[in-house]
Amino acid sequence: MGKLDNHVALVTGASRGIGKAVAMALATEGAHVVLVARSAFQLDSTSKEIEGKGLSASAEVADITIPVQVEKAINETASRFGRLDILVNNAGMGHFKPAIDMTLDEFDEMWNLNMRGVFVATKVALPHMIKAGRGTIVNISSLAGKNSFKGGTGYCATKWALRGFASSLMLEVREHNIRVITIFPGSVDTSFSSMNKKGKNITQPEDVADAVVFAVTAPERSMFSEIDVRPTNP
């Protein structure tokens, strides 16, 4: 018996990296996991990898920066399974350069995925959760959403904005028994950027996934609203 048997979770950016590890971990606890990303090929291969372990997963191709695609992925999931228990807003990207060198297109690309996309996905998921009288929204932010660094003007701005969005949302929806959990990883060993550190002393995607599972499987009366996950000795 898994702690998430009969639950349905949708994870954005689930084809690789942190999203893939989160999807695998939620499926291991018994959830059916809907994987969302743009690359159909990579999504399919991740979905098959999860199913190959005897777990339950399916794939929905969608670009999180395109609202109609987000609506379709979430609404189809809710109508196909009759429920949406967990939304993990994980898809994100970064351009790391000084503001003076950053193009408006680069800024918009980060904003549209890291913040606007989270807003759209959350807005589409909420009516399903409110109708059910329960639900959990997990946002993968970053310690760049609490700290500042040179070259972070765009990325930090999106992740700080996400923290403001998430903590306000938490206050708005808790009366519907909906939990809003935001995870703030430091460097994680993925292909995210040449900036993020890699190696055995660096937090692995599975470590972030453990934090997500810990928070999501806590008694529904309790909410770990913010969790930092950082390398001990990078």
Nearest CA to 192 out of 100, 107, 90 is that of 90
- Token pair 């997500």 is found at 212
Contact between 19 and ligand NAP by CB under 6 A: the answer reads yes
The single-letter DSSP state of residue 188 is B
**Region near ligand NAP per CB under 6 A, out of 3-11, 61-69, 129-137, 168-176:** 61-69
Contact between 139 and ligand NAP by CB under 6 A: the answer reads no
Rounded least distance, CB 221 to ligand NAP, Å: 28
Q: Is 1 exposed, middle or buried (0-12, 13-18, 19+ CB in 10 A)?
A: exposed
14 catalytic? Reply is no
**Region near ligand NAP per CB under 6 A, out of 3-11, 32-40, 118-126, 213-221:** 32-40
The Cα–Cα gap between 148 and 53 comes to 40
Output 19 or 135, the one with its CB closest to ligand NAP.
19
Rounded least distance, CB 99 to ligand NAP, Å: 19
Output 128 or 192, the one with its CB closest to ligand NAP.
192
Within 8 A by CB and 6+ apart from 182, the residues are 138, 139, 141, 162, 163, 166, 167, 225, 226, 227
Q: What are residue 87's DSSP bridge partners?
A: 10, 137
Terminal alpha carbon distance of the chain: 36
CA atoms 174, 25, 65, 160: torsion sign: positive
Number of residues that bind ligand NAP (CB under 6 A): 29
Judge whether 227 and 184 are in contact, CB under 8 Å: yes
Within 8 A by CB and 6+ apart from 39, the residues are 15, 61
Residues 90, 122, 136, 153: which binds ligand NAP (CB under 6 A)?
Answer: 90
Rounded least distance, CB 82 to ligand NAP, Å: 25
Contact between 190 and ligand NAP by CB under 6 A: the answer reads yes
Q: Which of 60, 83, 124, 155 is catalytic?
A: 155
Residues 126, 187, 215, 226: which binds ligand NAP (CB under 6 A)?
Answer: 187
Output 160 or 192, the one with its CB closest to ligand NAP.
192
Contact between 156 and ligand NAP by CB under 6 A: the answer reads no
Contact between 115 and ligand NAP by CB under 6 A: the answer reads no
The Cα–Cα gap between 135 and 2 comes to 18
Question: Can you give the binding site for ligand NAP, defined by CB under 6 A?
Answer: 12-19, 37-39, 42, 63-65, 90-93, 113, 140, 142, 185, 187-188, 190-192, 196
| Residues carrying an active site annotation | 155
